[in-house]
Every structure is written in C-alpha cells, then in structure tokens.
Amino acid sequence: MKKQWKLIIFYISLTLLITNLPQKAKASVSVSVSARNAILMEQDSGRVLFEKGAHEKRKIASITKIMTAILAIESGKLDEMVTVSDRAEGTEGSSLYLKKGEKIKLEDLVYGLMLRSGNDAAVAIAEHVGGSLEGFVFLMNQKAEEIGMTNSHFANPHGLDDSDDHYSTAYDMALLTRYAMENDTYRTISGTKEHHAPNPTENWEREWKNKNKLLTRLYKYSTGGKTGYTKLAKRTLVSTASKGDMNLIAVTLNASDDWNDHISMFESAFKNYDIVQIIKSGNLKKINNDFYKQKIYIKNEYTYPVTEDEKDKFQIDIQLVNPKEEWEDSRNAPDVVGKAVVRFEDQPIKEIPIYYRHEKDEDSSWFKQIKDLFAALTGVNTNG
C-alpha cells in the first residue's frame, strides 16, 4: 500500500484579515440611503462594507450594459466595423441615432453604450458579437454564471422593460463590476468623460459626453460607472471610486437620490476603513522543517480593508504537505506544497497557495549558457 502523507500544520497568529471572498463587515458606520437596494463593496478583496436588500431580485435598467460592454471587449473584435441593422436602428429609448446600413467601429459603439447609454448600440453590439441578439443573450447568461451571479438572468443587452425574465441584484451587479474592472479597456471606457467618433452620414463627428455626473462633476474620487432608468426599474446606478489604495464599488437600485447615496457610502468607507497588508510576498519565515526552511514562498502580497477594532480578530494557519522520500532530490518536489488558511473568528475565509522554490538546474542556468557558448566556439558537440 502507498504511504498516506499527512499535513504538517504550523499556526501563526496574525492581527489582520485577508480574503478575496466577499464578507459582511461589522461596520462601525451607519449609512442612510434613499435606494430600495444598495451595496458597497471593496473592489480588490470583494468585502461587503454596507448592504441594504442587496440580494433582492430587481429590474436593473441600463446598468445591464456593463455586461454588454465587457462581453464586447472580451470578444477581441473592438477594431472590427459593425453594420447597423434595421433592428438596431429601431430600438426604443436612449439612442446614438444610428442608421440602418451605416458602418461603425465596435469600440466606438462600446463608448456610446457606456457614456450615452445607447440602446441601439446595445443591439448592434449584440448582433455583431453574438451573431444575433438571442445568441448574445445566451453569452450574457453564460458569463453571469461564470462570475457567480446566482440571482441574475438577462433577456436583452440594454435593460429595457421588455421582459419579466430580465433581473439582477445589487450584490450580483457589484460582482459583475468587480469582474469588469479587472479589464484595462473597460476601466478606460467606464472612466471616460467624453468620446468622439466618426459620423459617416454627416459632415460632423459624433460627440458623446458621459451621463455619470459623479464622474464628470460631482465626486472627485469617482473613476467610472453606469447610469440607468426605466419606468419599472426607476433610477439605477453603478459607480466606482478610488482614494489612496482603496478602490470601491457602489450599486443602488430604485433610488430617488442616487448621486448622494453613492457619495455617502464612499465617504463612510474612506473614513472608517484602511487597506492593510496582511501577507507579504516572498519567503515564509519561522518554518522549522529542514526541507522547507527558506525554500517556500507566497507569490503576491494580500491586502484587506479593516476597521480599527477588527485588527486583532484574525489568524493564519500555514499547512504544508509532509515531504516525500522521492523529494530527496528537491527537483521532484511539486510547485505548490501547501496553503495559508486565513480565518476570521475561527471561520476559514481564504486559502492562499504556498510555493516551493526549486534550485535552478545547472542546465537551465546561466552556467548552461556559458557552456553552450564555449562549445560553439570550440566546435564541441557539433554535427560531424
């Protein structure tokens, strides 16, 4: 029988918390918002700092277009020209006033989608990226499942009230925005105040100014977002903000005073939370096992938003696989040899891989390069 290898477990108590999983905060602040549903999430960690009915399914209006935009960006087709269809031209509501048969760059359509909320742009994008509007809707729901938007379903690319089967939640829209903000192109478009695009049917170019007043004039820390409104959904808004090393996502649904709702949530977080480094990148110290000593490391640092009274509630357990006999030659050791388990109030909330630093094989080092150069100069190991 093969020998069963147990874990060597080292316990290291820390005073801070790290996680990339959304966690409810025991906030020390109280935020009052007009919105029926709201959420404030720290972008990098995913920690929820404030919520109000965040998991209630609601109509979401044009913040739907965040999904449309990220799918268009990820399609790799931004440089392609899109031919506007009759279906796109005839889309009701907010419009870029596209004309049937005109050709427009997909990238410009995404700018028009996000800045001016063009419903005609949404349909044109959907038909080009998905092959059809229906095909694109399939991609939207596939992406929602991938992201973990478990209480969402999309029926169109624009958010118009043409289906009872089109809905999401404040929490799910924060997850979507967190995902989208990892994309450089999305961040650029979302945070653009004004965009100019060619207009092939006129002698003047199109000029689109962003409808997001937080970005254009109300809030200096705003970095982007998307507005929305329909008669059934009422006012909806997703916005992002950054100050120092803290990046935030706010979502409100059915809000009569959404601009101030978002500012209030942002300001409360900036005032009461600090981003703290929990784990540094580099070698793990205080490891007594001879095989692992000065040979194991974590690739990237981890940070987390905490309030002052949370800094003594966390613990990290370092768990390492017991070295096997065949690892006597360290080159046989796997790349990942354990994990750091982060706990909050004795509950595991994050697992971070621990890597083994292999000694460089002589044949893959600079020594091999010198040896190969010498062989080439002397004619050693050449054919013939």
pTM, whole model, 2 decimals?
A: 0.84
Predicted local distance difference test score (pLDDT) of residue 128: 98
Q: Which of 45, 52, 59, 65 is catalytic?
A: 65
Residue 165 has pLDDT above 60, yes or no: yes
Question: Which segments of the chain belong to CATH 2.30.140.30?
Answer: 7-16+276-362
| Contact of 193 with 187, CB cutoff 8 Å | no
Predicted local distance difference test score (pLDDT) of residue 372: 62
In this structure, of 79-83, 183-187, 203-207, the range with the lowest mean pLDDT score is 203-207
| Contact of 85 with 58, CB cutoff 8 Å | no
Question: Which segments of the chain belong to CATH 3.40.710.10?
Answer: 37-272
117 is catalytic: yes
Residue 232 has pLDDT above 60, yes or no: yes
Q: Which of 45, 59, 62, 222 is catalytic?
A: 62
At the topology level, CATH places domain 7-16+276-362 in Spermidine Synthase; Chain: A, domain 2 (2.30.140)
**Is the domain covering 37-272 a CATH 3.40.710.10 domain?**
yes
Predicted local distance difference test score (pLDDT) of residue 18: 35
Predicted local distance difference test score (pLDDT) of residue 379: 60
pLDDT band of 5, cuts 50, 70, 90: very low
How large is the average pLDDT for residues 70-96? 97
Predicted local distance difference test score (pLDDT) of residue 28: 43
Residue 374 has pLDDT above 90, yes or no: no
Q: Which two tokens stand for residue 70?
A: 């990220």
- Residue bearing the bigger pLDDT, 365 or 244: 244
Predicted local distance difference test score (pLDDT) of residue 26: 42
Residue 225 has pLDDT above 50, yes or no: yes
In this structure, of 41-50, 113-122, 241-250, 373-382, the range with the lowest mean pLDDT score is 373-382
- Residue bearing the bigger pLDDT, 342 or 175: 175
pLDDT band of 14, cuts 50, 70, 90: very low
Average pLDDT, the chain: 87
Predicted local distance difference test score (pLDDT) of residue 78: 98
Helical segments of the chain, H only: 65-74, 86-89, 106-116, 119-130, 133-147, 170-180, 184-190, 213, 258-272, 366-378
| Contact of 350 with 379, CB cutoff 8 Å | no
Instruction: Pick the closest to residue 356 from 303, 293, 302, 265 (CA basis).
Output: 293
Residue 202 has pLDDT above 80, yes or no: no
380/169 Cα distance (integer angstroms): 69
Kindly report, residue by residue over 248-305, the tens digit of the pLDDT: 999 999 999 999 999 999 999 999 999 988 888 999 988 888 899 889 999 988 888 8
Q: Which of 45, 94, 117, 222 is catalytic?
A: 117
Kindly report, residue by residue over 15-35, the tens digit of the pLDDT: 333 333 444 444 445 799 999
Kindly report, residue by residue over 36-50, the tens digit of the pLDDT: 999 999 999 899 999
Instruction: Pick the closest to residue 117 from 77, 62, 165 (CA basis).
Output: 62
Annotated binding residue 286: no
Residue 2 has pLDDT above 70, yes or no: no
Predicted local distance difference test score (pLDDT) of residue 347: 75
**What is the percentage of the chain residues whose pLDDT exceeds 90?**
67
| Contact of 53 with 170, CB cutoff 8 Å | yes
| Number of other residues whose CB lies within 10 A of the CB of residue 324 | 13
| Phi, psi at 350, each rounded to 5° | -160, 140
Kindly report, residue by residue over 129-141, the tens digit of the pLDDT: 999 999 999 999 9
| Contact of 152 with 56, CB cutoff 8 Å | no
